[in-house]
Structure 1
Amino acid sequence: MKSQVWDAGAALDSRESPRGWLVVLAAMIGVAVGLSPIPFYTIGMFAPELSREFGWSFASMMGSIAVQSAVVMVISPLAGFAVDRYGARPVALVSLFLFGLCFMSLSLNQGSLVLFYGQWVVMSVLGIGTLSATWTRVVNGWFDRNRGLAFGIASTGTGLTGFLIKPFAAWMIAEFGWRTAFVAIGALPIVIGLPVIFALFRENRQLAAESDVMTEDAAAQPLAEHGMTLQEALRSARFWIMAAAFFLIAFALTAPTPNLENILKTFRFDLADIGRIAASFGLAVIAGRVIGGWLLDRFWAPGCAFVILLLPALGNWLFAGDSLSGGAALVAVFCVGFGAGFEFDLLAFLISRYFGQRNYGVIYGCFYTVIACGGGLGPVVYGYAFDRTGTYAVALLCGIGCILIGGLLLLLMGPYPRWQDR
């Protein structure tokens, strides 16, 4: 059992090395070609082609994202258990390969919407090992002082995919057709992800083994992993405080994202302006991840989170107004995007500090379920509010309340625990 009596920070600092940044690079690429960004950022490109070919409605095709969220919400804890039990690298390699094959299989559909949903279910199950828990667990083992920055850089992979995959998909569809585009995009996890993960993605080992004091056998042993078991975490008040906070935060930060273009449309921006303003969202996500991660290394994370979450609250407040200039719209989009980018860095950092590395994967999976639930509910509630009232103002004001309450809840987490083997 692990007791909270010793500050591991000083000991862990010694394991930070340039080799860890290669692991961060590998994690960033793994994130970029994984289940989280590729389907989300490409379904909008394929939807017009599938609608033209099979007569499917856009609403039914967007339902595939809801299917993915539902599957992820259910099996994330199991994926975390697999990472803890078998190691992140083997899980990542197998899952990347199978995810790529599943995405390619979408090219074989002959018009069955039920089969299409079934393909998304299988893809979500087999690709679950490419989600954040896998990558952050290994990065967590390499860093202590710069852990937040490392998390931030690794998670920029989703922003890079969001920036690059749409033009690539558009070019492939225009030149070779949608079926070939599915195959080409599905090949990315296999052709790019697998070699990089195989070569660079490693659990941390005792770097002191390079000295004359350490034996070769000792060098092969992984660092001791301090922290709670899942059962201990579930009995902790901090677990449920974090769960409530992240449900509210995920609800409020995810909801505006798929509704962003329509929010801007309510202020009578034309299509060209909407595209220009919305494009800043991806850059804001990257900024939120890197800058937010850097700040987490230097300040108490819950306090840092409360201050940073004031930015998306400001963005929601600007969107909830009666009028919006072009400059104010850019500020609002940047604020919301910055908060959305910061969210997953914050989650990974808090889990590593408050619950430790011992059962990191399965604990992360539990929180990912909470985020998937809140994040899946938010866009639906915002869309329903718009359908009923013709405006997003009420929903956005509720979102501000959720952000502030979630940030205040995190302030109850207290100081970081200190771990030691008993």
Structure 2
Amino acid sequence: MRLHHRQRIYHRRRPYRAVTPASLPAQTRGGEWRRNWPLVILTALALTSSPATLPVYSIGVLTGPLEAEFGWSRATIQAAITFSTGLGFFGGPLGGWLVERFGVRRSILGGIVGLGGTVLVCAAMTGSAWQLYLLYAAMALLGAGAGAVSWTFLIADRFVRSRGLALGVALSGTGLAAFITPRIAVAGLEWGGWQGAYIWLAGFCLLLILPLCLLGLPRGTGGHRAGSLPETEPPRAGLTLGAAVRGHRFWLIGVATFCIYVAVGGLIPNLVPALTDSGLSQGEAVSIMGFFGLAIVAGRILVGFFVDIFWAPLVASAVLIPAAIACFLIQQPLEFVAYAMAAMVIGMATGMEFDMLGFLAARYLGLAHFARIYGRLYIFVALGAGLAPPAFAFAYDTFGNYGWPLTISAGLLLLGAGCFLALGRYPAEREFALSAQ
């Protein structure tokens, strides 16, 4: 009787069982992929038209035609990206709220309609730069539901044993956008000028990606208030948003993410001039950028594979520390092959940072309120990506070379590695406060 009484007290304190890799029904990595591979492919395709990729990768094609049509300077046109990426500061939390309030499926579908509709309205601009800025800001806000927050949650929720690799493959769609989006814009330009480019980009969202998502997104992926889980699924484990923000791990992940994004976000647009300053020709520097791009894809997939096997902070540090060393090497007079290898190491660090954010958030903070927590963590992404280019430009103008900016980038990468290592062991099952579904 005494033992039975103690058992009743224990179960009253823990009425729900945490869902972690150890407590899930046995399912192999192969089983996860056989069941969910269409969703991974859909995510990669859909992220080619997300609010974070479509404006960024199409603006380069549209700059010349808009300059010729309205007489805007190139700086004026490029400033539109500041509005679309800068509002990621609000778009991340908004996307997380939408997922919890309306569910993943409805958030994504609504976001695609909002993004595609706004892009279509861009074809009706009449010549005010503020029209351009407001429309690009609207892309970030109206398309927030179709952003990385929703898709990352969807993948993290359906993969446990192969979560890292699945995130790496799925989020490679952001890199695929660099190949697809400019070509769609060019085809639209040839069809109907700059208006045609916006129409074709909107059509890509509304006539291709939207139907694919209507057919491919699983039903029942709702928010907490909209029936997030089918009755047959166990409750998800994880911290509430308030508990996560009060804990040190949220801030360690956030600070590490910010440091890495400032470092690589400043390096990407400045790598070619930094290499030419080191003695390479323009053609050689551009060739190295090709290796850099391949390394981004490789970094996403390889790091995703290894974090499923080894402790993720150690894997991240094994990439970030060599990348910090590479920042110093780029400043030295080296051979072409050495520069290429250094750029590839930095490229791997660039590729892994976004996937690592989703993986660590799920592993250390849980899935119960993942969308809202990830949305808050995305603020660090937006801040880092937004501050990096002007900070690099200011440092170059101040010192007259890339020595100090590259040295600062190396320090930030090392600081990011230190923050990851400070996360400690993965939380045990009993450490997660369960959210009643």
Q: TM-score, normalised by structure 1?
A: 0.90
**Higher RCO structure (Cα 8 Å, ≥6 apart):** 1
Q: Kindly state the Cα deviation for residue 367 of structure 1 after the two structures are TM-superposed.
A: 0.7
Which amino acid in 2 is paired with 1:393?
G
Q: 1:320 pairs with 331, 345, 348, which one?
A: 331
Question: Which runs of no fewer than 5 residues in structure 2 stay unpaired?
Answer: 1-12, 222-228
**Corresponding residue to 1:298 among 309, 313, 335:** 309
Count of residue pairs the alignment pairs up: 409
Partner AA of 1:255 in structure 2:
G
Residues 1:255 and 2:266 are matched in the alignment: yes
**Selected match of 1:147 from 163, 168, 174:** 163
Instruction: After superposition, give the CA deviation of every residue in 1:27-53 in whole Å (9 maximum; x if it has no partner).
Output: 111212211222111111111221122
* Change beyond 3 A, Cα 1:263–1:194: same
Q: 1:219 Cα shift?
A: 6.2
Question: Given the alignment, which residue of 379, 383, 386 partners 1:376?
Answer: 386
Asked whether 1:229 is paired with 2:252, we answer no
Query: Residue 14 of structure 1 corresponds to which residue in structure 2?
Result: 26
Could you tell me how far apart the structure 2 residues matched to 1:174 and 1:313 are?
Answer: 43
Q: Give the superposition deviation at 1:239.
A: 1.3
Are residue 359 (structure 1) and residue 369 (structure 2) matched? yes
* Cα distance between partner residues in 1 of 2:327 and 2:15: 42
Deviations 1:299-348 (A, max 9, x none): 10111111111242233223233x34432332233222211110011000
Conserved in 1, the CA contact under 8 Å of 2:324 and 2:413? yes
Q: Shift of residue 5 of structure 1?
A: 8.6
The aligned counterpart of 1:413 is 423
- Superposed, 1:259-270 pairs within 5 Å as 259-267=270-278, 269-270=280-281
What corresponds to 1:59 in structure 2?
A: 75
Q: Distance in 2 between matches of 1:24 and 1:109?
A: 36
Q: Name the residue aligned to 2:341.
A: 331
Secondary structure of the structure 1 residue equivalent to 2:22: helix
* Aligned residue in 2 for 1:103: 119
SS in 1 for 2:303: helix
State the distance in 2 between where 1:183 and 1:329 align. 41
Distance 1:96 1:181 in 2: 18
Match of 2:210 in 1: 194
Q: What pairs with 1:125-136 in structure 2 (closer than 5 Å)?
A: 125-136=141-152
Please point out which of 275, 278, 286 is paired with 2:289. 278
**Uncovered stretches (5+) of structure 1, i.e. residues with no partner:** 206-217
Greater Rg over alpha carbons, structure: 2
- 1:31 maps onto 2:53 in alignment: no
SS of 2:401's equivalent in the other structure is coil
Change (3 A) 1:419 1:187: farther
The equivalent residue for 2:8 is none
**Structure 1 residues 137-216: aligned runs within 5 Å:** 137-202=153-218
Deviations 1:142-191 (A, max 9, x none): 11110000000100101111123334433432454222011102221222
Instruction: Report deviation, 1:8.
Output: 2.0
Letter in 2 for 1:51: E
Distance 1:303 1:288 in 2: 15
Alignment counterpart, residue 402 of structure 1, candidates 412, 416, 423 = 412
By how many angstroms is 1:69 displaced?
2.3
